[in-house]
Amino acid sequence: MQDFFKSIPHKFTAQEEALIKRALAFAEKAHAGQKRKSGEPFVNHPIQSAIILGRIFPDTSTIVATILHDITEDTPTTQAQLEKEFGREIAGLVDGVTKLGAVRLRNSKDQFYVENLRKMFIATSKDIRVMLIKLADRLHNMRTIEFIPPEKQVKVANETLEMYAPIANRLGIGAWKDELEDLSFQIVMPKEYEKTKALLEEELESRSKNVKEWEKEFASILRREGIKFNEIRGRVKRIYSLFNKLKKYDNDITKIKDIIALRIIAKSTGDCYAILGIIHKHFQPVPGRVKDFIATPKPNGYESIHTSVFSPAGKVFEVQIRTDLMHEAAERGIAAHWFYEERGKGDILERQPGWVKELHAWQEETANNPDEFLESLKIDFFQDHIFVLTPKGDVKDLPVGASVIDFAFSVHSDLGYYMMGAKVNGRMRKIYDELRQGDVVEILKSKKPAKISRDWFNVAKTSHARAQIRKYLAEHDRGIIGRVRELKLPSLRFFRKR
């Protein structure tokens, strides 16, 4: 337990610490006897996930929910018990994580499908904290992926690359996105990974100075120029990011200007611009490579100044200049915003990146009041859509108010015509029942065609289902009319016209 608190650089109150300790003990008991594929006790997984989460988002409720996130699924403990033990907020987060587990990438690589899946992931979460927990969970699973069978590794890694990494990026959490990408890339495309890695190593060897030496050189230049700074940190380009960039530049590594980048953490925004001037005084800049993301942040909120310069040996490297706050935001995204907001470090609401503002616009609640910031993490991007799942995990995008009937016809018209009932989240439900975000719907088919009535038509919300039902009713009516004619009974037209 002491290790747990040491791993998260945050000062918890005594009350918060007690709650976290209670959750750790609860999880340990609930998961007792369960083992991971690696042979270690299962409870290590939620605990490690909670540490990953806590390091970027040290919110007690979210940490506790992460510690408990696999309990309702993997142990006899129920949702109700969790709620009784830890309250509605935490139990709600755990429930969200469990539901989100149903959103899975299947074989389809169709861009539309993948995009729908990402939307569904966001919409099902309802709360950004649920997404953060799920991402931390996935990151820990990726770090320990070697213990599961190879075919399953590929599946999980694929899903991580297509769904989780882009969402981490969307939330601005660069540190998680980078790690998720590199871990998955190695599994999904092992040959390309090795090739890119070798290329990178070769390129680094050809350079006269390594990252550490550049750090020292820059520090001494800035000191000579009399400008104070917080830190200089070099970084080598990530392998997956290099792989993607190479594709755009005919696989010519000499065209890539940011193989090595030096990050200078400045004391203020003004200093960022001053440092840019000093660098251009000492090193020849590459024309057209100055990018001012402080004046114009990237859509995910990223702020920095980038420039590329020539080394005396004629090699190009990149310099990224940013303040502490900008650096935290680049690594931790929305979590950093919450973090600084919470600690009262100033005008973060004014400095919110565009996409956070967009988030706020998307929801109708006012987020102007700083006290409501956590409340504002609750999201409802797609107010008139719900996303529901087939038992295999395929996503169906339906309008709000859609029923089991709409779902059945959206899968296949035969499924509608032969429907005799449905299970929603494992329970029998009426076909007129309205579906909710994230429901898993299984249609029960009969051998005989269903008795489709006008009521079906009235309940259906989607034009697709209505058209199918109308077609059925028209044919069915013709059938009756035909039989009436065979019996040589008077025409039904009179009644039908009414």
Which residue of the chain is nearest Mn ion when measured via CB? 137
Rounded CA-CA distance 334/330 in Å is: 9
In the bound state with Mn ion, the residue whose beta carbon lies nearer, of 127 and 137, is 137
CB of 11 to Mn ion, least distance (A): 27
Residue with tokens 């249609």: 443
Active-site residue (options: 16, 17, 28, 74): 74
Which residue among the candidates 73, 115, 201, 231 is catalytic per the annotation? 73
Indicate if 73 belongs to the active site. Answer: yes
Look at strands 305-310 and 395-399 and give their pairing: unpaired
Nearer to Mn ion, 65 or 246 (CB): 65
Q: Which residues bind Mn ion (CB under 5 A)?
A: 70, 137
Name which of 23 and 278 has its Cβ closer to Mn ion.
Answer: 23
CB-nearer residue toward Mn ion: 79 or 311 = 79
How is 324-377 classified by DSSP, letter by letter? HHHHHHHHHTHHHHHHHHHTT-S-TTTT--HHHHHHHHHSSS---SGGGTTGGG
Least CB distance to Mn ion at residue 69 (A): 6
175/179 Cα distance (integer angstroms): 6
Which residue type occupies 343? R
In the complex, least distance from residue 147 CB atom to Mn ion, rounded to whole angstroms: 14
Active site residue 3: no
Query: Measured in Å, how far apart are the chain's first and last C-alpha atoms?
Result: 77
Rounded Cα gap, residues 439 and 424, in angstroms: 6
The CB-of-23 to Mn ion minimum distance in angstroms stands at: 15
- Beta-carbon neighbour count of residue 85 at 10 Å? 14
Nearest approach in angstroms of CB 70 to Mn ion is 5
Tell me the CB-side half-sphere exposure of residue 376, using CA atoms within 13 A. 24
User: Which residue, among 105, 311, 82, 303, has the nearest Cα to 217 in the 3D structure?
Assistant: 311
Residue nearer to Mn ion on the CB measure, 70 or 303: 70
- Residues annotated as catalytic are 73-74
